[in-house]
Structure 1
Amino acid sequence: MKVALIVDEKCQEASVLVNVPKRTLFFDHLMIKIRRLLNEQQLDVQREGELFSFEISDIDRVFTDNKNVFCMVRGEKYRIRKRIYELANLLPVDLFFQISQSEIVNRHFVEKFSLSKTGLYQVILKDGECTYASRRFMYKIKKEYFK
């Protein structure tokens, strides 16, 4: 695949153009990554009525609690006004993975995975917290990230 930068002083607006012989899953994923890179570098959150904006890479985990969506950033809990399924599509797949219907974690924030005696997958986080991954999502994680 060739990558080129064309500088044109007459250009009014920068654009990214990808020419492909046919549409494939690889190129669909590439387009999603480019759009995310260009559009979504920060996430707006709130805590106690105050608004904050964080770099997406600073987010440790995203989870639902009592029908609200929260994220953890450096040990602090913030509310997000997006739904978990929206965040699953928004967050970069090379940095985050969904471990259950209600939780998405930053892969750099995971200490280790462990199979519990009951057959559930424990996800031990770097802050010492323990959460659980569903079998369905664990299968997907193994398939996509631990090839």
Structure 2
Amino acid sequence: MLIRFNISKSFSSPFISINAQQKNDDLLSMATAIDKIVNQEAVTGYQNEKRKLISLYQIISIHTESKKVLCETKNGTYYIQKRIYEMKELLPQKLFIQLSNSEIVNVTQIKEFSLSPAGSYQVDLSNGRRTYTSRRYAQIIRKELLK
């Protein structure tokens, strides 16, 4: 599938257009998924006692730290009031992957994978943070992402 950017000062706001010879089920499901990610699905995050809605496409990773679940974005880190397993159910499976019991990352934010001597993967994210998979999830990642 071809992805093309059309940049012009004449556009007042960004929009997505799907061009095809005819409408089919695949295109409709793609449009629904894009709409969910960009417009509908959001996570409520808290930072300095302020509440903010975070769109799914802005999320880099969701991980636990000191028994709190944190949502990392390019704009900062937010505390969220859901558990990791609840977030896994909420997030689209094609866009997010679980690296361990304590971390889920946005697949589009992964810069590179490298195999560590312990049998897990080192994962470098787009924001410069480095994380590791658990050995249990390394097998799942190998099947799903590194085909």
Partner of 1:55: 55
For structure 1, list consecutive stretches of 5 or more residues without a partner in the other structure.
Answer: 4-29
What amino acid sits opposite 2:134 in the alignment? Answer: S
Partner of 2:136: 136
- Following TM superposition, the consecutive aligned residue runs of length 4 or more in structure 1 with deviations greater than 6 angstroms are none
Cα distance in structure 1, aligned partners of 2:115 and 2:55: 32
TM-score, normalised relative to structure 1: 0.71
What amino acid sits opposite 1:66 in the alignment? Answer: S
Instruction: Note closer, same or farther for the CA distance 1:98–1:40 as it changes in structure 2 (3 Å cut).
Output: farther
Q: What's the CA shift string for 1:18-38, capped at 9, x where partnerless? A: xxxxxxxxxxxx9xx98xx49
CA positional deviation for 1:47: 0.5
Partner of 2:88: 88
Partner of 1:23: none
Cα distance in structure 1, aligned partners of 2:54 and 2:122: 28
Partner of 1:102: 102
Partner of 2:11: none
CA positional deviation for 1:57: 1.1
TM-score, normalised relative to structure 2: 0.71
Cα distance in structure 2, aligned partners of 1:62 and 1:124: 15
Equivalent residues in 2 for 1:1-147, closer than 5 Å = 3=25, 37=36, 41-147=41-147
Cα distance in structure 2, aligned partners of 1:138 and 1:109: 18
- How many residues in Structure 1 have an aligned counterpart in Structure 2? 117
Given that 1:40 and 1:90 are in contact with CA atoms closer than 8 Å, whether structure 2 keeps it comes out as no
Q: What's the CA shift string for 1:65-105, capped at 9, x where partnerless? A: 11110011105110000000000111111110000000000
Cα distance in structure 2, aligned partners of 1:145 and 1:84: 20
Structure showing greater Rg: 1
Name the Cα RMSD after superposition. Answer: 2.4
For structure 2, list consecutive stretches of 5 or more residues without a partner in the other structure.
Answer: 1-23
* Identity across matched positions, percent: 38
Cα distance in structure 2, aligned partners of 1:119 and 1:146: 15
Secondary structure in structure 2 of the residue aligned to 1:61: strand
Q: What's the CA shift string for 1:122-144, capped at 9, x where partnerless? A: 11111221110012112112212
